[in-house]
Amino acid sequence: QVQLQESGPGLVKPSGTLSLTCTVSGDSISSVNWWTWVRQAPVKGLEWIGETYHSGSPNYNPSLKSRVTISVDKSKNQFSLRLTSVTAADTAIYYCARDSRTGMDYWGRGIRVTVSS
């Protein structure tokens, strides 16, 4: 059974950097899938942040591209999100997901991140 688990700080200071990790089990990070980050601000819809393939080659939401980095650690079967210069608008639940040829079929439970001083 494929499982994804987000981890990282739940509180980040304004202008700081948000760093999250997604640990994948039941599948290899080197498999033929895109590894994705999606977020959901309070009482809002879903927003795609970006994705990466195991070889690198990330794709980012154009509205976040200047602040986002998604990377892979094959040795730990993990992928990570780094979002710089955060503001209150970045407060959200952050999900990691596997995007296979048949859609975003496995999701983590999500991690709530608040940007506040």
Partner 1 sequence: EIVLTQSPATLSLSPGERATLSCRASQSVDTYVAWFQQKPGLAPRLLIYDASNRATNTPARFTGSGSGTDFTLTISSLEPEDFAVYYCQQRSGWPPAVTFGGGTKIEIK
Residues that bind partner 1 (CB under 8 A): 36, 38, 45-48, 51, 59, 61-62, 95, 97, 99, 102-105, 107-110
CB 88 within 8 A of CB 117: no
CB of 73 to partner 1, least distance (A): 22
Tokens 């509205």 belong to: 63
33, containing H or E segment: none
What is the Cα–Cα distance from 112 to 43, expressed in whole angstroms? 13
Residues of the chain by 3-state class (helix, strand, coil), percent to 5: 5, 55, 40
CB nearer to partner 1: pick between 65 and 74: 65
CB of 105 to partner 1, least distance (A): 5
CB of 9 to partner 1, least distance (A): 20
CB nearer to partner 1: pick between 19 and 59: 59
